[in-house]
Structure 1
Amino acid sequence: MSGQDVTVVVDPSVPEEVAWSLRSNAQLLARIRRGLTPERELDDGSLPQGLALAGAVGLVLLDLAFFAAGLVPLVILTTGAILLLLLSRSLSAMKPDYEEPEGQGDLIQQARWYDGRYYLREDFDAEALSLLARTQRAINSVLGSHVNAEGLLDDVRNSVMLPQQEWEIARLLAKLSALRAEHNELIADGIAPEVAKAVQPLERALLNSEAAVAARVEALERYAGHVAEAERAYHAHGQIEELRARLPRYEELVAESGADGFAVPEISRLSEDADRLERALRRSVSSAHEAFRYLDG
């Protein structure tokens, strides 16, 4: 997952239905952030009512002047223009003031109500996006694993703690990005020598904070690595179990064909392989649990 693939991060305390809606509408949320409101946009070619009325009055006066001057053709033209203008306003008035896409109004309300409880890609600078992408990749790999779905890990705690970790990391990264942007803007045009010394502690604070968040991300990645090992052992163990279940058919074939003396010794070792992978799976799961406890603090 690259920074481009980072998804909306939502506070875990937000209702799941609302959280799903927010995560599914990143682009629209960005537009709302930039000021999209459910107000009519004059994109249908119609004129504002006041301007249309002023134009109609002007045409009427011009029509009367042409009539007084005996310019009948021009009278006909201006009368037609008046009728067209009035017809245009009538048709425009029949349209609803605002035609919003399905569900957009609800999303705008949700975005405003839960403002501050979700983060978009725009809230992070490049360095923060990279860390957030690593965070989401690690969490998704754990929650999407078979060993988690089968309950070999603490799936309940995973479903609660990992989203909370994602939110906390995102919150810190957003704050770090904002402070870093302000700092870079401050020093963009250069700083006086006497100010440089005062700036150094602030720059160290930014670097140390980023390092602390990176350490949390690395802890998540270590946990995801242990889970990946357990996942590989889980699949290998399942395959060996399937082979062991078929072993009697192989043994029967060997006996019936009179090939007992040429039987491949490895066939009889399937049970040993299965036991070995069973132990490997248990060790992997145990390692994942240890990593989880460290992550949980």
Structure 2
Amino acid sequence: MQYVAVDPEVPAEIAELFRRNASLLSRIRAGWAPEPEAAPSRLPVRALQVVGAVTALLLVGVGVTADGGGHTGVFVAALLVFVVFIGHLTAQEPLDAGDPEQDLYRNARWYADRYLLPEDFDAPAEELRERTRRAVEYVLRSQVNAAGMLDDARNSVMLPAQEWEIARLLAKLSALRREHHDLAVDGDSPEVAAALEPLERALAASEAAVVARVEALERYAAHVAEAERAFLAHQRIELLRSRLPKYEELLAETGADALAVPEIDHLARDAGQLEQALRASIRSAHEAFRYLDGPPTEGDK
């Protein structure tokens, strides 16, 4: 499935709609528009049916009134038939849901500058965007993040914002690179070539700055991966340690408690060492996370 980068400020249900419809979004951007919505053809029929039922009910009511109330039972029966009839019409002809293409078109126009499509990225930019997506996705889906061992609240806000900002910069960089390439094709004179050189340096410096941001995210994801491995190993060791009494009981019952193998005793020590390793890896992840915020300000020192 083609990937659509969406500003995290866009409502979640609309962002998901965009991600599911990359091809149609490309067509909308190119000028395509869905056919105007037609008025439901069954509405007049339903209106006539309701009017007819109301008219019949009124006629029955008038007849009852003229008879001095002698046929109240008939009126009540007619009223019940009317209610059942209207309910039947409602069940048979529910209100039509909105046209999905119209819904996508309206939101695509409203949030025109809040999403980016695959064609917005050239090949180098797409590679960096994909690296960013993988790093952010790994952190947000990690068990240590779900367990609250990282700054999960800040992760859920800052990492999608970082991903969007990197995607936005990469799209802008891709567009400028395309323009630069078109200018360079016609720039075979020494004067034009000399004028293009500072622009090329600006593009290279901008790309290097974006690459540094991507690498910072990847370092953070790598620290989280270390914490994840330590966390999973710690969970397993704790599970084994919780079962130690059963083994000790068995050894005592069989008279082999004096011959207990050292590996069983090592479980407790291994659990403690893994817990220390886990805490160290979490601290490293926090340090890498703070690096994403940029250099400390004077107030932070």
Confirm or deny a common fold (TM above 0.5): yes
1:48-59 aligned at under 5 Å gives the runs none
The superposition leaves residues 106-134 of structure 1 with CA deviations (integer Å, 9 ceiling, x where unpaired) of 00110011001110111000000000000
Q: CA deviation at 1:102?
A: 4.5
Would you say 1:34 and 2:24 are equivalent positions? no
What is the match of residue 53 of structure 2? none
What is the match of residue 136 of structure 1? 133
State which drifts further: 257-266 or 274-283: 257-266
Distance (whole Å) between structure 2 residues aligned to residue 114 and residue 189 of structure 1: 36
Distance (whole Å) between structure 2 residues aligned to residue 13 and residue 191 of structure 1: 45
Distance (whole Å) between structure 1 residues aligned to residue 158 and residue 120 of structure 2: 23
Q: CA deviation at 1:14?
A: 1.4
What is the match of residue 147 of structure 2? 150
Distance (whole Å) between structure 2 residues aligned to residue 261 and residue 39 of structure 1: 85
Aligned residues: 234
What is the match of residue 110 of structure 1? 107
**TM, length-normalised to structure 2:** 0.75
Unaligned 5+ segments in structure 2 are 37-96, 295-301
What is the match of residue 169 of structure 1? 166
Identity %: 66
Q: CA deviation at 1:24?
A: 2.1
In structure 2, the residue corresponding to 1:188 is in which secondary structure? helix
What is the match of residue 265 of structure 2? 268
What is the match of residue 206 of structure 2? 209
**TM, length-normalised to structure 1:** 0.76
In structure 2, the residue corresponding to 1:35 is in which secondary structure? coil
What is the match of residue 12 of structure 1? 8
Distance (whole Å) between structure 2 residues aligned to residue 6 and residue 28 of structure 1: 11
Q: CA deviation at 1:269?
A: 1.4
Unaligned 5+ segments in structure 1 are 41-99
Distance (whole Å) between structure 2 residues aligned to residue 274 and residue 26 of structure 1: 48
What is the match of residue 124 of structure 1? 121
State which drifts further: 19-28 or 119-128: 19-28
Q: CA deviation at 1:194?
A: 1.6
- For residue 125 of structure 1, what is the amino acid of its counterpart? D
Alpha carbons 1:139, 1:162 under 8 Å: kept = yes
Distance (whole Å) between structure 1 residues aligned to residue 207 and residue 197 of structure 2: 15
Q: CA deviation at 1:6?
A: 6.2
Distance (whole Å) between structure 2 residues aligned to residue 282 and residue 6 of structure 1: 39
Distance (whole Å) between structure 2 residues aligned to residue 23 and residue 282 of structure 1: 37
Distance (whole Å) between structure 1 residues aligned to residue 215 and residue 124 of structure 2: 15
